[in-house]
């Protein structure tokens, strides 16, 4: 029984005594505590809900032979006073009053919250600029979650509860790709943490900063095969650049500072795992959180003189220079475009860099490589110098090693990664380009702008012919992206999935000022919709559009309910051809039989409506424009499901 000198607060826990029949028990909540309310021999009792042995919830037990039995291990207690007959242990009991308006229990006034390890680390995380978290709250991360709840209540943090942890890491990855700043993903021990893995690898290989926060079982049982226990530091060792278990003796604010600093500077994955008991370990009230003041140096590094001058001489001598930009140049485009205008030369992008220069810009030539346009490939083949900024030279892009090449990158390991380039320039891109502009007084470059316009006209004529193709088996992909060209807002963020839908998007969608996000090096199917959630969290004032195939959306379709819950106005363009079309194409190319690529799909538009979103189904090309306009106008999540022809890509 609690000390009666303690002040008691009365809480109504039942509207009517008849709601709990004789001989029954139930769990009730008063303040932040749960209790076991009992009705036995005409009296009501209130006991602590937690069995002292294994923590079993007594409110889920039953009264048998006059005793309340714990549902977990069968221990018996008196249902009114909480004593265990024949033993000196038991559970606390609390006063109960039956009043005219219901049943009340009297419980001691709650103590004020005492500052703990989680408070210090969450405050430090927020001070460093991580104010967005995607995750799932569960039994092994409750202490850390409660610290985030307190900061969210103060308006300092935004937490989005998702349906699958893989969606959390994809969303955080997309946030990092769009902003260059990390968001966090959050999971329980064991399977919750392992579900983060794919999205973390997506962030890692695309150089997006991200922070993974995982719960862990109590330190005492780590390594014993406990329920949902696995060594998370070992499990994350391959993916995480910074990877630590939080200990009692850790310098907690400093540890979180180092985790965030590594994520930002390395553009990589940082991981911290928190054993259950350490999350709520009390700390002195004066133990302060850290912030980034004087912890990060300015990053505007100028290139070494020798490599810069070599590259400069190449630019001065070239007659047909071509600039190629990758995703790594996304924050430096104004200066790069200025350089292209000075050289009157084409600008090509990698697939990940799609949209970094508008397709209607006089220097813009679209995407180079497998997902690209014949315009881009034409100018690479005609070039006498390639000037590459922030690109990785992947096979997908197909940057030829046979033409003289300048490569500029902030990461020295990225320089000459796949083959030797002629001028490898290590430096911050905007600084290096500014130096080119200052010192590039005279060049031999010819004006290639008329030729760019000519090649665009040839490609537009070809697209117009393809737009007329119709096999009466669904809408063509080119028609979908032609409609998007006419309807998607110029300032939208577009997240793109993997598959034929992505290839067609790269080829046919003409970017204006949209930002494009995709799973680049990892190429993970299912990326688009969770990424759209991350993009919305990062840029809530911009229109957010996801482009996915039925195979990709099917992997995370439950997250549509997350978008509805948080009123995320994501517009999903879903290409439904009832097939993993890219895999079928690869099987044919490899001279294999097409096998197991057909899909059994629901009516996705009806599914969207059932989730509380707007769902529109398109079966004819003539319906596309109106459907997309309706979705864009809709105040909330919306899906345009287009039944497409798998052969018209």
Kind plus residue range of the DSSP H or E element containing 213: strand 210-216
Which residue in 354, 302, 344, 300 sits closest to 321, CA to CA? 344
The single residue listed with the structure tokens 């497998």 is: 370
Domain end among 229, 264, 279: 279
pLDDT at 553: 97
Rounded mean pLDDT, 253-262:
98
If pLDDT is split at 50, 70 and 90, which confidence band does 89 have? confident
Classify residue 515: in a domain, yes or no: yes
- Give the domain CATH number at 615: 3.40.50.970
Which of 78, 108, 138 is a domain's end point?
A: 108
- Structure confidence at residue 5 (pLDDT): 58
pLDDT for residue 297? 86
- Does some domain include residue 459? no
- pLDDT computed for residue 320 by the predictor: 98
Does residue 122 share a domain with residue 97?
no
Residue 622 lies in a domain: yes
Digit-coded pLDDT (tens) for 388-403? 999 988 777 788 889 9
Instruction: Mark whether 65 and 129 lie in a shared domain.
Output: no
Confidence grade of residue 3 (pLDDT, cut at 50, 70, 90): low
188 and 157 in contact (C-beta within 8 Å)?
no
Helix (H) or strand (E) holding 429: helix 429-439
The span from the CA of 259 to the CA of 236, in Å, is 14
Mean pLDDT, range 577-583, rounded to an integer: 94
Nearest CA to 95 among 23, 15, 37?
37
Residue 104: strand pairing partners? 12, 97
Nearest-5° angle of CA 54, CA 55, CA 56?
95
What pLDDT does residue 110 have? 86
Give the residue among 431, 375, 383 at the shortest CA–CA distance from 403: 383
Instruction: Looking at the structure, tell me whether residues 262 and 337 fall in a common domain.
Output: no
pLDDT band per the 50, 70, 90 thresholds, residue 512: very high
54, 73, 108 - which closes a domain: 108
R_g over Cα of the chain: 30
Segments forming the whole domain that contains residue 567: 469-643
How far is C-alpha 611 from the geometric centre of its chain's CA atoms?
Answer: 21
Residue 175: is its pLDDT beyond 60? yes
Q: Is residue 461 part of a domain?
A: no
For 646, the token pair is: 């798998």
Residue 288 domain flag: no
496 with 634, same domain: the answer is yes
Same-domain pairing of 31 and 87 = yes
Q: Of the candidates 148, 182, 178, which has an alpha carbon nearest to the alpha carbon of residue 259?
A: 182
For the chain, give the mean pLDDT.
94
What is the arithmetic mean of pLDDT over 78-90?
Answer: 91
CATH classification at residue 101: 2.102.10.10
Do 621 and 493 share a structural domain? yes
What's the pLDDT score for residue 111? 86
Query: How far is Cα 425 from Cα 215, in angstroms, rounded to an integer?
Result: 42
Edge to edge, the sheet with strand 321-325 lists 364-367, 347-349, 321-325, 385-389, 405-409, 423-426
Are residues 272 and 377 located together in one domain of the fold?
no
On whether both 255 and 132 belong to a single domain, the answer is yes
Alpha-carbon gap, residue 168 to 152, rounded angstroms: 18
242 within a domain of the structure (yes/no): yes
Q: Are 301 and 412 in contact (CB under 8 A)?
A: no
Say whether both 145 and 268 belong to one domain: yes
Same domain, 89 and 124: no
Q: Same domain for 340 and 477?
A: no
Give the number of other CB atoms < 10 A from CB of residue 34: 16
DSSP 562: H
Indicate whether 523 pLDDT > 70. yes
Instruction: Note whether 463 and 478 are within 8 A (CB).
Output: yes
d(CA 108, CA 19): 25
* 641 three-state secondary structure: strand
Domain count, the chain: 4
**Token output for 611:** 């989730």
Tell me the CA distances in angstroms from 627 to 7, 308, 460, 469, one per residue in order: 62, 52, 24, 21
What percent of the residues of the chain are helix, what percent strand, and what percent coil, each to the nearest 5? 35, 25, 40
CATH number for the domain harbouring residue 359: 3.40.50.1220
Question: 580 lies in a domain?
Answer: yes
One-character DSSP codes across 376-393: HHHHHHH-SEEEEES---
Is residue 600 domain-resident?
A: yes
Alpha-carbon distance 322 to 346, whole Å? 5
Answer yes or no: do 91 and 143 share one domain.
no
**% of the chain exceeding 90 in pLDDT:** 88
Name which of 141-145, 413-417, 642-646 the model is least confident about: 413-417
């Amino acid at each position: 029984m609690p000390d009666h000198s303690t002040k008691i607060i009365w809480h109504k826990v039942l509207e009517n005594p008849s709601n709990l029949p004789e001989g029954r028990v139930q769990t009730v909540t008063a303040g932040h505590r749960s209790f076991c309310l009992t009705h036995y021999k005409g009296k009501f009792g209130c006991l602590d809900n937690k069995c002292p042995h294994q923590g079993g919830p007594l409110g889920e037990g039953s009264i048998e032979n006059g005793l309340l039995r714990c549902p977990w291990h069968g221990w018996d207690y008196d249902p009114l006073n909480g004593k265990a007959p024949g033993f000196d242990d038991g559970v606390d009991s609390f006063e109960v009053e039956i009043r005219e308006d219901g049943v009340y229990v009297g419980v001691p006034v709650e103590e004020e919250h005492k500052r703990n390890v989680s408070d210090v680390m969450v405050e430090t995380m927020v001070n460093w600029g991580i104010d967005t978290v995607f995750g799932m709250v569960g039994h092994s991360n409750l202490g850390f979650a409660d610290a985030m709840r307190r900061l969210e209540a103060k308006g300092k943090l935004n937490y989005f509860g998702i349906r699958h942890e893989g969606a959390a890491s994809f969303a955080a990855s997309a946030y990092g790709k769009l902003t260059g700043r990390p968001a966090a993903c959050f999971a329980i021990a064991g399977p919750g943490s392992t579900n983060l893995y794919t999205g973390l690898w997506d962030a890692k290989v695309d150089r997006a900063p991200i922070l993974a926060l995982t719960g862990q079982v109590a330190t005492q049982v780590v390594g014993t095969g406990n329920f949902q226990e696995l060594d998370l530091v070992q499990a994350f060792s391959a993916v995480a650049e910074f990877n630590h278990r939080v200990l009692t003796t850790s310098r907690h604010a400093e540890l979180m500072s180092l985790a965030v600093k590594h994520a930002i500077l390395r553009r990589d994955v940082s991981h911290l795992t928190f054993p259950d008991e350490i999350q709520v370990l009390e700390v002195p009230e004066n133990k302060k959180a850290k912030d980034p003041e004087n912890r990060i140096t300015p990053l505007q590094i100028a290139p070494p003189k020798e490599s810069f001058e070599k590259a400069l001489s190449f630019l001065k001598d070239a007659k047909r220079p071509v600039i190629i930009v990758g995703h790594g140049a996304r924050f430096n485009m104004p200066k790069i475009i200025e350089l292209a205008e000075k050289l009157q030369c084409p600008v090509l992008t990698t697939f990940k860099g799609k949209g970094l220069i508008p397709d209607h810009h006089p220097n813009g030539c679209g995407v180079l490589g497998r997902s690209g346009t014949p315009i881009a490939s034409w100018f690479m083949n005609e070039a006498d110098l390639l000037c590459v900024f922030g690109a990785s030279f992947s096979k997908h892009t197909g940057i030829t090693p046979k033409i003289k090449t300048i490569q500029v990158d902030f990461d020295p390991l990225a320089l000459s990664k796949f083959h030797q380039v002629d001028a490898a320039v290590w430096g911050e891109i905007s600084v290096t380009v500014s130096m080119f502009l200052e010192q590039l007084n005279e060049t031999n470059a010819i004006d290639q702008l008329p030729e760019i316009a000519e090649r665009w006209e040839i490609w537009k004529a070809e697209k117009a012919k393809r737009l007329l193709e119709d096999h009466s088996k669904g809408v063509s992909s080119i028609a979908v992206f032609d409609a998007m060209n006419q309807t998607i807002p110029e300032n939208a963020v577009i997240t793109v999935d993997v598959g034929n839908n992505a290839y067609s998007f790269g080829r046919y969608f003409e970017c204006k000022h949209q930002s494009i996000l995709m799973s680049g090096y990892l190429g993970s199917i299912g990326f688009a919709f969770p990424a759209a959630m991350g993009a919305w969290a990062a840029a809530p004032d911009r229109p957010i559009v996801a482009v996915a195939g039925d195979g990709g959306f099917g992997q995370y379709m439950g997250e549509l309910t997350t978008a509805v819950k948080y009123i995320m106005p994501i517009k999903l363009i879903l290409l439904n051809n009832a097939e993993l079309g890219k895999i079928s194409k690869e099987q044919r190319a490899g001279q294999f039989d097409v096998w197991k690529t057909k899909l059994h799909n629901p009516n996705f538009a009806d599914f969207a409506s059932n989730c509380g979103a707007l769902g529109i189904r398109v079966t004819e090309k003539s319906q596309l424009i109106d459907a997309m306009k309706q979705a864009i106008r809709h105040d909330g999540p919306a899906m345009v499901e287009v039944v497409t022809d798998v052969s018209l890509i």
